[in-house]
Amino acid sequence: MVLTATPVTRSPNPLKGTAPRRRRSRLRVNAQVTLALLVIAGFVLVGLLAPVLAPYDPDLADGGVKYLGVGAPGHLLGTDELGRDILSRLIWGGRTSLVVALAASLSSTVAGSVLALVAGFSGDRAAGLIMRTVDVMFAFPVIIIALVLAVILGPGTPVVVLSIVFSAVPYVARVVFAEVKLQRGREYVEAARSLGAGFFSILFREVLPNVLAQIVVYGTGLVGGMIVFSSSLSALGIGVQPPTADWGRMISEGAKVIISGNVYPALLPGLVVLVVALAFNWLGDGLRDVFDPRRRRAGR
């Protein structure tokens, strides 16, 4: 009888390759966040330095140099239908567009988070009243709200900000409310109650720090969409009013002359809005991966 040796098979190590994957994931997330921050910081810095960087007055019209193309002498990005320098209007328009989007996003994030925190720790009746009110806000078309506010207040920046806040608060409240409900039954909440902590003390000193990461992530990602939305309202004529430079207004004015073959007055501000909105979305996605330990453990 011939004895044959049975080959020994080794079970694969489930941890093998996990560390490199985690490192690659962290590097990818860090690179994404860094790139997004660089893009956002660059646009913010350009907006702050607009008086220094803009080669011309953004509202200065010159009928003799209308519709100049990109690379024209003295006008790097050309001119619009009134002969205004497009580069100068892009630089100054960043001030208006970014301030409006950031102010509206911050206001809606704070308001929605406070509503969700109070509702999450209130009794069933109070929580139901708050969240049903939030649900009713979902039912109103945002454009209708903007038009009504424009009739009451007149077109302008306040209409854009209030419209964005009204439309974004329900989404923020729903996201934060779900997270607060998860935290409500945790041990640290029961410990704070047993030590005699009051309602607002538990809410803002114990629960808020544990949901703050989700609020920051969602609020950051919200800015990108709000830039697009505020630009849309300005393009419809119920947002920032002329002659103030604004990216949405530039797109609207440029769209009127596309049929003549001059696409740059609409294309260039549209590309700027796209890049800035994507940068804020990238930042929100990157922060979500950084703050979510389950994603880090999974090596995603």
Report pLDDT for 250.
85
Report pLDDT for 29.
64
Contact 103, 111 (CB under 8 A): no
Tokens of 150: 């424009």
Q: What is the residue-wise DSSP string for 110-176?
A: HHHHHHHHHHHTS-HHHHHHHHHHHHHHHTS-HHHHHHHHHHHH-SSHHHHHHHHHHHHHHHHHHHH
Q: How far apart are CA 245 and CA 243, in angstroms?
A: 6
Assign 189 to helix, strand or coil.
helix
Give me the mean pLDDT over the 53-63 stretch: 87
Q: Is the pLDDT of residue 14 over 60?
A: no
Q: How far apart are CA 285 and CA 279, in angstroms?
A: 10
Report pLDDT for 297.
45
For the stretch 258-270, pLDDT in tens is: 777 778 888 898 8
Q: Is the pLDDT of residue 10 over 60?
A: no
Report pLDDT for 26.
58
Q: How far apart are CA 20 and CA 81, in angstroms?
A: 55
- Of 99, 105, 101, 85, nearest to 48 by C-alpha is 99
Q: Is the pLDDT of residue 92 over 80?
A: yes
Report pLDDT for 144.
84
Q: Which of 38-42, 195-199, 277-281 has the lowest mean pLDDT?
A: 195-199
Q: Is the pLDDT of residue 12 over 70?
A: no
Contact 111, 165 (CB under 8 A): yes
Assign 24 to helix, strand or coil.
helix
Contact 45, 53 (CB under 8 A): no
Q: Is the pLDDT of residue 107 over 80?
A: yes
Give me the mean pLDDT over the 115-124 stretch: 83
Q: What percent of the chain has pLDDT over 90?
A: 9
Q: Is the pLDDT of residue 2 over 50?
A: no
Count of beta carbons in the 10 Å neighbourhood of residue 250: 28
Report pLDDT for 91.
92
Report pLDDT for 49.
92
Report pLDDT for 89.
92
What mean pLDDT value characterizes the chain? 80
Q: Is the pLDDT of residue 168 over 70?
A: yes
Helix (H) or strand (E) holding 219: helix 208-235
Q: Is the pLDDT of residue 299 over 80?
A: no
Q: Cα–chain-centroid distance for residue 135? A: 22
Q: How far apart are CA 225 and CA 175, in angstroms?
A: 16
For the stretch 172-196, pLDDT in tens is: 888 888 888 888 777 877 787 787 7
User: What DSSP designation does 259 have?
Assistant: G
Q: Is the pLDDT of residue 35 over 60?
A: yes
> Which of 1.10.3720.10, 1.10.600.10, 3.30.1440.10, 1.10.10.1100 is the CATH number of 31-298?
1.10.3720.10
For the stretch 139-163, pLDDT in tens is: 888 788 888 888 888 788 888 888 8
Give me the mean pLDDT over the 41-50 stretch: 91
Contact 181, 135 (CB under 8 A): no
CB crowding 210-219: b at 16 or more within 10 Å, else e: ebeebbebbb
Report pLDDT for 46.
92
